[in-house]
Protein backbone atom coordinates (compact mmCIF):
# COMPACT_ATOMS: atom_id res chain seq x y z
CA UNK A 1 0.00 0.00 0.00
CA UNK A 2 1.17 3.55 -0.73
CA UNK A 3 2.70 5.24 2.31
CA UNK A 4 3.31 2.02 4.23
CA UNK A 5 6.99 1.41 5.03
CA UNK A 6 8.21 -1.88 3.69
CA UNK A 7 9.14 -4.51 6.27
CA UNK A 8 12.51 -6.22 5.83
CA UNK A 9 12.34 -9.98 6.40
CA UNK A 10 15.70 -11.52 7.18
CA UNK A 11 17.20 -14.85 6.16
CA UNK A 12 18.45 -17.22 8.81
CA UNK A 13 22.04 -16.32 7.91
CA UNK A 14 21.30 -12.62 8.34
CA UNK A 15 19.64 -13.24 11.70
CA UNK A 16 22.65 -15.25 12.85
CA UNK A 17 24.85 -12.26 12.01
CA UNK A 18 22.49 -10.10 14.04
CA UNK A 19 22.99 -12.56 16.87
CA UNK A 20 26.75 -11.96 16.63
CA UNK A 21 26.06 -8.26 17.00
CA UNK A 22 23.82 -9.08 19.94
CA UNK A 23 26.54 -11.06 21.70
CA UNK A 24 28.95 -8.13 21.36
CA UNK A 25 26.28 -5.82 22.71
CA UNK A 26 25.71 -8.07 25.75
CA UNK A 27 29.39 -7.73 26.71
CA UNK A 28 29.36 -3.97 26.13
CA UNK A 29 26.23 -3.47 28.24
CA UNK A 30 27.61 -5.73 30.98
CA UNK A 31 30.68 -3.50 31.16
CA UNK A 32 28.57 -0.33 31.09
CA UNK A 33 26.35 -1.57 33.92
CA UNK A 34 29.43 -2.44 36.00
CA UNK A 35 30.77 1.08 35.40
CA UNK A 36 27.57 2.75 36.67
CA UNK A 37 28.78 3.45 40.22
CA UNK A 38 28.64 6.39 42.59
CA UNK A 39 31.11 9.06 41.41
CA UNK A 40 31.31 7.90 37.81
CA UNK A 41 30.20 10.23 35.04
CA UNK A 42 27.86 9.22 32.28
CA UNK A 43 30.78 9.89 29.89
CA UNK A 44 32.80 7.27 31.79
CA UNK A 45 30.08 4.71 31.06
CA UNK A 46 30.06 5.65 27.39
CA UNK A 47 33.84 5.20 27.18
CA UNK A 48 33.68 1.73 28.73
CA UNK A 49 30.96 0.66 26.30
CA UNK A 50 32.86 2.06 23.30
CA UNK A 51 36.03 0.20 24.30
CA UNK A 52 34.24 -3.17 24.26
CA UNK A 53 32.85 -2.52 20.77
CA UNK A 54 36.27 -1.49 19.50
CA UNK A 55 37.94 -4.59 20.92
CA UNK A 56 35.31 -6.80 19.27
CA UNK A 57 35.68 -5.09 15.90
CA UNK A 58 32.06 -3.88 16.01
CA UNK A 59 30.76 -0.37 15.50
CA UNK A 60 28.15 1.71 17.28
CA UNK A 61 24.85 2.33 15.54
CA UNK A 62 24.16 5.28 17.87
CA UNK A 63 27.31 7.34 17.26
CA UNK A 64 26.56 9.86 14.53
CA UNK A 65 22.95 8.71 14.12
CA UNK A 66 21.22 11.92 13.02
CA UNK A 67 24.18 13.65 14.67
CA UNK A 68 24.02 11.87 18.04
CA UNK A 69 27.43 12.50 19.68
CA UNK A 70 27.98 9.31 21.72
CA UNK A 71 27.96 5.52 21.51
CA UNK A 72 25.12 5.04 24.02
CA UNK A 73 22.21 6.92 25.53
CA UNK A 74 22.41 7.31 29.31
CA UNK A 75 19.18 8.69 30.75
CA UNK A 76 19.22 9.55 34.47
CA UNK A 77 16.24 9.88 36.83
CA UNK A 78 13.56 12.02 35.11
CA UNK A 79 15.33 11.57 31.76
CA UNK A 80 13.33 9.00 29.82
CA UNK A 81 15.37 8.33 26.68
CA UNK A 82 18.16 9.75 24.49
CA UNK A 83 20.25 11.17 27.34
CA UNK A 84 23.66 12.33 26.06
CA UNK A 85 26.63 11.07 28.09
CA UNK A 86 28.70 13.86 29.60
CA UNK A 87 30.04 15.21 32.88
CA UNK A 88 26.98 14.33 34.96
CA UNK A 89 28.22 12.55 38.11
CA UNK A 90 26.17 9.62 39.36
CA UNK A 91 24.91 9.75 42.94
CA UNK A 92 23.64 7.14 45.34
CA UNK A 93 20.06 6.22 44.45
CA UNK A 94 20.13 7.47 40.85
CA UNK A 95 18.18 5.37 38.36
CA UNK A 96 19.46 5.32 34.81
CA UNK A 97 18.66 3.61 31.54
CA UNK A 98 21.61 2.59 29.37
CA UNK A 99 20.58 2.09 25.74
CA UNK A 100 23.07 0.98 23.11
CA UNK A 101 23.62 -0.97 19.95
CA UNK A 102 26.29 -2.74 17.94
CA UNK A 103 26.79 -3.40 14.24
CA UNK A 104 28.58 -6.47 12.87
CA UNK A 105 28.99 -6.91 9.11
CA UNK A 106 26.25 -4.37 8.49
CA UNK A 107 23.64 -5.98 10.78
CA UNK A 108 22.34 -4.31 13.92
CA UNK A 109 21.51 -5.10 17.52
CA UNK A 110 19.79 -2.83 20.05
CA UNK A 111 19.23 -3.32 23.78
CA UNK A 112 18.67 -1.30 26.96
CA UNK A 113 18.84 -1.93 30.68
CA UNK A 114 17.88 0.04 33.76
CA UNK A 115 20.45 0.37 36.56
CA UNK A 116 20.01 1.76 40.07
CA UNK A 117 23.20 3.18 41.55
CA UNK A 118 24.01 2.30 45.13
CA UNK A 119 20.99 2.00 47.43
CA UNK A 120 17.73 1.78 45.45
CA UNK A 121 14.51 3.51 46.37
CA UNK A 122 11.97 0.65 46.63
CA UNK A 123 9.62 2.42 44.23
CA UNK A 124 12.42 2.85 41.70
CA UNK A 125 13.24 -0.85 42.01
CA UNK A 126 9.58 -1.68 41.47
CA UNK A 127 9.53 0.59 38.42
CA UNK A 128 12.54 -1.17 36.90
CA UNK A 129 11.28 -4.65 37.75
CA UNK A 130 7.85 -4.01 36.25
CA UNK A 131 9.35 -2.49 33.11
CA UNK A 132 11.67 -5.46 32.65
CA UNK A 133 8.90 -8.00 33.17
CA UNK A 134 6.64 -6.03 30.81
CA UNK A 135 9.34 -6.38 28.16
CA UNK A 136 9.43 -10.15 28.67
CA UNK A 137 5.63 -10.32 28.46
CA UNK A 138 5.89 -8.52 25.13
CA UNK A 139 8.57 -10.93 23.92
CA UNK A 140 6.41 -13.90 24.93
CA UNK A 141 3.56 -12.37 22.94
CA UNK A 142 5.87 -12.18 19.92
CA UNK A 143 6.28 -15.95 20.26
CA UNK A 144 2.63 -16.79 20.89
CA UNK A 145 0.73 -14.04 19.08
CA UNK A 146 -0.37 -13.51 15.49
CA UNK A 147 0.17 -9.78 15.06
CA UNK A 148 2.68 -7.15 16.15
CA UNK A 149 -0.15 -5.44 18.03
CA UNK A 150 -0.33 -8.44 20.36
CA UNK A 151 3.00 -7.33 21.83
CA UNK A 152 1.70 -3.96 22.98
CA UNK A 153 -1.49 -5.53 24.28
CA UNK A 154 0.49 -7.98 26.42
CA UNK A 155 2.69 -5.19 27.81
CA UNK A 156 -0.33 -3.00 28.56
CA UNK A 157 -2.30 -5.80 30.20
CA UNK A 158 0.60 -6.72 32.46
CA UNK A 159 1.44 -3.17 33.54
CA UNK A 160 -2.19 -2.23 34.19
CA UNK A 161 -2.65 -5.36 36.29
CA UNK A 162 0.36 -4.89 38.60
CA UNK A 163 -0.70 -4.21 42.21
CA UNK A 164 0.25 -0.93 43.81
CA UNK A 165 0.50 2.61 42.51
CA UNK A 166 -0.17 2.72 38.75
CA UNK A 167 2.76 3.23 36.42
CA UNK A 168 2.54 5.15 33.16
CA UNK A 169 3.44 3.65 29.77
CA UNK A 170 5.01 6.20 27.44
CA UNK A 171 3.17 6.41 24.14
CA UNK A 172 5.42 8.83 22.22
CA UNK A 173 8.34 6.38 22.10
CA UNK A 174 7.95 2.82 20.88
CA UNK A 175 9.84 -0.25 19.70
CA UNK A 176 10.72 -0.93 16.09
CA UNK A 177 11.90 -3.32 13.47
CA UNK A 178 15.65 -3.88 13.24
CA UNK A 179 18.00 -5.42 10.70
CA UNK A 180 20.30 -3.76 8.16
CA UNK A 181 19.30 -0.50 9.86
CA UNK A 182 18.73 0.21 13.54
CA UNK A 183 15.23 1.61 13.07
CA UNK A 184 12.93 -0.05 10.57
CA UNK A 185 9.26 -0.79 10.08
CA UNK A 186 7.12 -1.79 11.83
CA UNK A 187 6.56 0.31 14.94
CA UNK A 188 6.09 -1.85 18.03
CA UNK A 189 3.69 -0.09 20.37
CA UNK A 190 3.88 -0.69 24.11
CA UNK A 191 0.16 -0.29 24.70
CA UNK A 192 -3.10 -1.80 23.51
CA UNK A 193 -4.85 -0.31 20.48
CA UNK A 194 -7.52 -1.46 18.04
CA UNK A 195 -4.87 -1.77 15.30
CA UNK A 196 -3.45 -5.29 14.93
CA UNK A 197 -0.41 -4.27 12.92
CA UNK A 198 1.42 -6.63 10.55
CA UNK A 199 1.52 -10.38 11.06
CA UNK A 200 4.26 -11.95 13.11
CA UNK A 201 6.06 -14.13 10.59
CA UNK A 202 9.50 -15.72 10.09
CA UNK A 203 12.25 -13.29 9.21
CA UNK A 204 10.78 -10.44 11.26
CA UNK A 205 13.19 -8.96 13.82
CA UNK A 206 11.92 -6.53 16.42
CA UNK A 207 13.33 -4.33 19.16
CA UNK A 208 10.83 -4.53 22.02
CA UNK A 209 11.35 -1.67 24.48
CA UNK A 210 8.73 -0.55 27.00
CA UNK A 211 9.39 2.73 28.81
CA UNK A 212 7.52 3.29 32.07
CA UNK A 213 7.33 6.24 34.44
CA UNK A 214 6.27 6.65 38.07
CA UNK A 215 4.09 9.65 37.23
CA UNK A 216 2.38 11.18 34.22
CA UNK A 217 3.39 10.21 30.69
CA UNK A 218 3.81 13.74 29.31
CA UNK A 219 7.38 14.50 28.18
CA UNK A 220 9.43 17.27 26.62
CA UNK A 221 12.73 17.41 24.77
CA UNK A 222 15.56 19.54 26.18
CA UNK A 223 17.45 22.20 24.25
CA UNK A 224 20.10 19.64 23.22
CA UNK A 225 17.39 18.28 20.86
CA UNK A 226 17.88 14.76 22.22
CA UNK A 227 17.26 14.31 25.95
CA UNK A 228 13.61 13.55 26.75
CA UNK A 229 12.39 14.20 30.29
CA UNK A 230 9.11 13.77 32.13
CA UNK A 231 7.35 17.10 32.57
CA UNK A 232 6.41 16.28 36.18
CA UNK A 233 9.93 15.17 37.14
CA UNK A 234 8.93 11.57 37.77
CA UNK A 235 11.52 8.86 37.31
CA UNK A 236 11.62 6.56 34.32
CA UNK A 237 12.82 3.10 33.27
CA UNK A 238 13.59 1.50 29.91
CA UNK A 239 14.31 -2.14 29.09
CA UNK A 240 14.88 -3.46 25.58
CA UNK A 241 15.83 -6.61 23.71
CA UNK A 242 16.16 -7.41 20.01
CA UNK A 243 14.19 -10.51 19.04
CA UNK A 244 14.30 -12.68 15.91
CA UNK A 245 11.28 -14.67 14.71
CA UNK A 246 12.17 -17.67 12.53
CA UNK A 247 10.37 -20.72 11.19
CA UNK A 248 11.01 -22.76 14.35
CA UNK A 249 10.25 -20.13 16.99
CA UNK A 250 11.92 -17.05 18.46
CA UNK A 251 15.38 -16.21 19.73
CA UNK A 252 16.30 -13.16 21.81
CA UNK A 253 19.36 -11.84 20.02
CA UNK A 254 20.60 -9.73 22.94
CA UNK A 255 20.22 -12.30 25.74
CA UNK A 256 23.02 -14.82 26.33
CA UNK A 257 20.59 -17.75 26.58
CA UNK A 258 18.24 -16.51 23.88
CA UNK A 259 15.80 -15.52 26.62
CA UNK A 260 15.26 -19.06 27.95
CA UNK A 261 15.42 -18.33 31.68
CA UNK A 262 12.94 -15.45 31.61
CA UNK A 263 10.59 -16.92 29.02
CA UNK A 264 10.24 -20.37 30.63
CA UNK A 265 7.82 -19.11 33.32
CA UNK A 266 5.74 -17.57 30.52
CA UNK A 267 5.42 -20.87 28.66
CA UNK A 268 7.87 -20.06 25.87
CA UNK A 269 10.99 -22.01 24.92
CA UNK A 270 13.31 -20.08 22.60
CA UNK A 271 14.77 -22.02 19.67
CA UNK A 272 18.20 -21.25 18.16
CA UNK A 273 18.16 -19.80 14.66
CA UNK A 274 18.56 -22.69 12.20
CA UNK A 275 21.03 -22.90 9.36
CA UNK A 276 19.72 -22.04 5.91
pLDDT of 217-253, one tens digit each? Answer: 999 999 999 999 999 999 999 999 999 999 999 999 9
Whole-angstrom CA distances from 268 to 45, 133, 145, 168, 177 are 34, 14, 12, 27, 21
pLDDT of 65-122, one tens digit each? Answer: 999 999 999 999 999 999 999 999 999 999 999 999 999 999 999 999 999 999 999 9
CB 131 within 8 Å of CB 201 = no
**pTM over cut 0.85:** yes
Supply the pLDDT for residue 1. 41
What domains appear along the chain, each with residue ranges and CATH number?
A: 12-266 (3.90.230.10)
Q: Per the annotation, does 82 bind a ligand?
A: yes
Position 276 confidence tier, pLDDT thresholds 50, 70, 90: confident
Q: Per the annotation, does 46 bind a ligand?
A: no
CB 57 within 8 Å of CB 128 = no
Concatenated DSSP letters of 108-174: EEEEEEEEE-SSPPHHHHHHHHHHHHHHHHHHHHHHH-SBTHHHHHHHHHHHHHSSSS--EEPSSS-
Q: Per the annotation, does 108 bind a ligand?
A: no
Supply the pLDDT for residue 4. 64
Amino acid sequence: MFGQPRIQYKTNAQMRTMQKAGLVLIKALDAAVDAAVVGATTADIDAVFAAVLKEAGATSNFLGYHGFPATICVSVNEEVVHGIPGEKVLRDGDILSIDGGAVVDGWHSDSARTVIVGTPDPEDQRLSDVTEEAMWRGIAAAAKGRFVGDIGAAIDDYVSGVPGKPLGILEDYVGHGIGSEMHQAPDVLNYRTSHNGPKLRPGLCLAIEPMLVRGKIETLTLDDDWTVITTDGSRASQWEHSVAIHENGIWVLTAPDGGASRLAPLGVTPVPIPAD
